[in-house]
Copies of this chain bind each other. A is one copy, B any other.
């Protein structure tokens, strides 16, 4: 089998299959609820939907690459997936999304109330899991990541519809919504394994850069992918009037007429048939898509570069491949 043809996340999944089975068992055990049967119904809908489990794999890979052979990387991987799932539940309420991972969202199948409360439950469960590791440093990292995530989400809410949003604000939002959990996922893997400070820092940097690259690509796909590829409706960000990187770049280069278009469709939110196509056409005209793609490639390169101080290990090669793969979705 030619490994170049196998997707890096599938290589990781194969290499970490035993650990991932333990993570899935733990997730199923902990998403149960003695008293409130609706909780496992909702979480099963999400957890069984077959997300890529990318974040827990990052934790497992970091820990194993640094030689860990204890039991707690499994707890941390489940923690990270619970935080991610909780965030998705709350995001879908905030974004009023109808589809997630190619299926109807929980807020559509049940209601917003359920999504809010089951999200809170999963946050609490993740918190219990990480306490079980007995590592205050791990708790500190994950507490800080949680705060960055929540802060980024609020920032995104207030930056939406604001045509003055800068690339610096965009980066802050992206750190919150994606990179904070990626970097925490890899960092805690190193910490639990007792890696050197240098390696822990490198794992943080890898996760951070991978997360930023991942999110820029995601934001590009929202204007260029198909619903089948990305598992959500194309143009969601446009309809939600989010100022993502290609949009910010296009606004900076806009003609007076294009400014009027942005003012109407984003600032005022007055959108009509054909506007999405026009938005895409404007971004293409200014090379805004290509410029955003170049930034994603730069972040992927940073992720690869961070790996050099880590042990020479098969997992390191897969993580390097993952950085390439994340940006390959737009190449």
Contacts and interface: CB of A to CB of B under 8 A. Distances in A.
Given A146-B123, A149-B124, A33 B112 contact: no
A13 interface: no
Instruction: Categorize the interface residue count of chain A.
Output: 35 or more
A150 B120 contact: yes
Contacts of A131: 136, 139-140, 143
Interface in A172-192: 172
A136 B144 CA distance: 17
A90 interface: yes
B35 A117 contact: no
Given A127-B143, A131-B143, A114 B154 contact: yes
Interface string A110-144: 00111011101101110110010010100110011
Contact of A147 (B124, B140, B172): B124
Contacts of A33: 151, 154
Nearest to A145: B124
A90 B150 CA distance: 14
Contacts of A35: 151-152, 155, 172
Given A38-B157, A113-B157, A158-B36, A151 B93 contact: no
Contacts of A172: 35
Given A123-B123, A127-B127, A128-B143, A38 B116 contact: no
A124 B120 CA distance: 11
A143 B155 contact: no
Interface in A200-227: none
B147 A121 contact: yes
Q: Select the residue from A93, A94, A123, A150 with max chain B CB neighbours within 10 A.
A: A150
Interface in A211-264: none
Nearest to A144: B128
Interface of A: 33-39, 90, 93-94, 112-114, 116-118, 120-121, 123-125, 127-128, 131, 134, 136, 139-140, 143-144, 146-147, 149-155, 157-158, 172
Given A121-B151, A127-B127, 17 more contacts: A36-B158, A38-B157, A38-B158, A94-B117, A112-B112, A118-B150, A120-B149, A120-B150, A121-B147, A121-B150, A123-B123, A124-B143, A124-B149, A128-B144, A131-B139, A134-B136, A136-B136
26 contacts: A33-B154, A36-B151, A39-B151, A93-B113, A93-B116, A94-B117, A113-B157, A114-B154, A114-B157, A117-B154, A120-B146, A120-B150, A120-B153, A121-B154, A123-B123, A123-B146, A124-B143, A125-B147, A127-B146, A127-B147, A128-B140, A128-B144, A131-B139, A131-B140, A131-B143, A139-B139
